[in-house]
Amino acid sequence: MSIVIQEFKCRNCGGKLDVTPETIMVVCSYCGTPNWFVEATEDIMVVPSMGRDDIVKSFLTRISEDFDLKRIADKIQIVEVRGVYIPFYFFSIKVEGFYEGWKTERVVETVGRRTQVKTRRKRVSESFSSILKIPVLARRSAEDFSLKELSSHYNYSNPPSIPIGDIKDFKNLKMSFLRSEIGVEEASVIARDDAGDMMLRKVSSKVDELTKFVCNTKIVEKSKLTLLPYWYIIYSYGNAQYRVAYAGWDCHLLLAQEPVMAYHKVGYILGAVSGCLISALGLTFTFAGGLNPIYSLFSLAAGCVVSWFFGGKVVEDVRIEGG
């Protein structure tokens, strides 16, 4: 059995092209000619991107201004800088409906030295109507680092987009384009489901027991396939590597991985210890008769939460910071 290896060549100069099954377009490294691997480019919109040098400059500025990174600036080495266009669909979904449920109210009553907690159940119902902005990643693979933040920043900043065929300077762009793996019809179903789930979570947070939930969804606006510029920088410090992600159209920091320093760990340990002290002091005052049992339980719970939060961070080697 023979294996046939297909080679792709530039339509202009015949140079070899590096092509993967996900490729929408690749720029010839010899002559700079764009070579398309999709038929209908008029239905694809692109948000223009800043250049590689702008992204690197933004990262270096962050190092010089960040409280933690500027202390280790001389030990940071850039390993890789890469830009990728990520395909998304964007929908405006109208959600209408109503919900019913029960809400529990707890009232603390103190008479002399005796405290009682009375619980009351109240039936609530409310209708809702809203327009939700829903992004849908046009890829079947799991989301990469900070892609959710990328789509959220797009909805917030609303940068202009142009047809992909209007881009002229492909050679200097130095970015790759990822092919979409789902069509607009499938994306529409996903968007409506996501909108319904979002409203369900919202109304569930308003009641203790949800007994009825009715939600109708309708697409009022949908975008063409839109490619968003996503840049990431991988840098090294010590024996570890970290990643920083940017939105390409304005160099906005999406998420950044940063090393955990020794003084961070000391702070986390102190935080965990303080949580234990909060719980211990609450119990001590209760047994001594100087604190209401209700407040004792509250201090015990608060102390446990504080200790759990900071205790988990003690063993972490990477911190995540948002833009």
For 200-210, how does the pLDDT look when each residue is reduced to its tens digit (9 = 90+)?
999 999 998 99
Domain ranges of the chain: 38-108+113-259, 263-322
Would you state the pLDDT for residue 255?
94
Classify residue 14 as left (phi > 0), alpha (psi -120 to 50) or beta: left
> Which residue type does 157 have?
S
Task: Give the contacts of 70 (CB within 8 A, at least 6 positions apart).
Answer: 63, 64
Would you state the pLDDT for residue 109?
72
Would you state the pLDDT for residue 68?
81
Q: Tell me which residue has tokens 């990328």.
A: 150
Would you state the pLDDT for residue 229?
95
For residue 116, list its beta bridge partners: 109
d(CA 206, CA 212): 13
For 246-290, how does the pLDDT look when each residue is reduced to its tens digit (9 = 90+)?
999 999 999 998 887 655 555 555 555 565 666 666 556 555 555
Asked if residues 124 and 207 have their Cβ atoms less than 8 Å apart, the reply is yes
Asked if residues 237 and 243 have their Cβ atoms less than 8 Å apart, the reply is no
Would you state the pLDDT for residue 277?
62
d(CA 275, CA 310): 9
Asked if residues 206 and 104 have their Cβ atoms less than 8 Å apart, the reply is no
Asked if residues 139 and 22 have their Cβ atoms less than 8 Å apart, the reply is no
Would you state the pLDDT for residue 79?
95
Q: Tell me which residue has tokens 């009682």.
A: 116
Would you state the pLDDT for residue 267?
56
Would you state the pLDDT for residue 3?
46
Spans of the chain below 70 pLDDT: 1-6, 19-25, 29-30, 32-33, 36-42, 112-113, 142-143, 169-172, 261-318, 323
Indicate the pTM of the whole model: 0.75
d(CA 101, CA 78): 54
